[in-house]
Amino acid sequence: MGKSWITKHIYHNAAATFHRHRFPSMSSPDDFHEFYIDFAESGTFDYVHCRQFEEATPYEVVCNLYQHHICSMMLADGFGPVETQIDKEADETTIVHRMKTPLAEQINLLCGVFPEGDDRCIIVAQQIHDDESFKHNHGQRNRLWMAEIHRLPIGRTKRRILHRVSQAFTATSMATMEEEATAWGCNLSLYPEDLREAKYTEFCLGLARMMHVNAARRLRDVRERLEIKS
């Protein structure tokens, strides 16, 4: 399946995906921030992070940061700055970002950029598990990420962001909730089994709040590093 086809498929379904995740209209004046863990009966689960807000950062800056520094902007590393290997595909709208996280997991993120006129852009990304041009034996996660970015008057921007991330897996196994929790510093063995989902969700909500605070700092740090390099 071609990389360009994958990003176009996600792009064409972006509006429905935002709606399914209960995002408000882009005309809503309210900020929207939601985090939850989507547990399936099969034992798999996804971390789901949704945000919609207005900011003073110029439209072109936001689009450029997501297109060229998406791993750092999505806090794929947690809290520290990252440098990623970027492979541009034949289609100029498609870029692959690669990095290894502090948990030794491989990110192989296919990113597509879809401008809609001069004042609106949708950027989408998905983890590519099997890439003939890049072989590895590290753990990884399913990732689906998308952003809708609107230009506002007087240099302001409004954006909505969805990020779904699965538990870690390898070619032979998938991490349990208990293993995931241990990796993030949460000991679920302290709780009865029937309380572990709730306790892990509570723990992750705390992490999400810290990530929320760190996101604004990350935006500033990445911009400053780019200005220094230029």
What global pTM score does this model have? 0.86
Spell out the residues 6+ positions from residue 118 whose beta carbon is closer than 8 angstroms to its own: 151
Residue ranges of the chain whose pLDDT lies below 70: 1, 77-92, 130-137, 213-230
Q: What local confidence, expressed as pLDDT, does residue 91 receive?
A: 64
Q: What local confidence, expressed as pLDDT, does residue 73 receive?
A: 78
For residues 77 and 101, the answer to whether their CB atoms sit within 8 Å is: yes
Total structural domains in the chain? 1
Q: What local confidence, expressed as pLDDT, does residue 65 receive?
A: 86
* CATH label of the domain that carries residue 127: 3.30.530.20
Q: What local confidence, expressed as pLDDT, does residue 42 receive?
A: 87
H-state helical runs in the chain: 3-12, 14-20, 59-68, 70-73, 177-183, 196-229
Rounded to an integer, what is the distance from CA 77 to the centroid of its chain? 11
For residues 186 and 203, the answer to whether their CB atoms sit within 8 Å is: yes
The range of the structural domain enclosing residue 26 comes to: 3-229
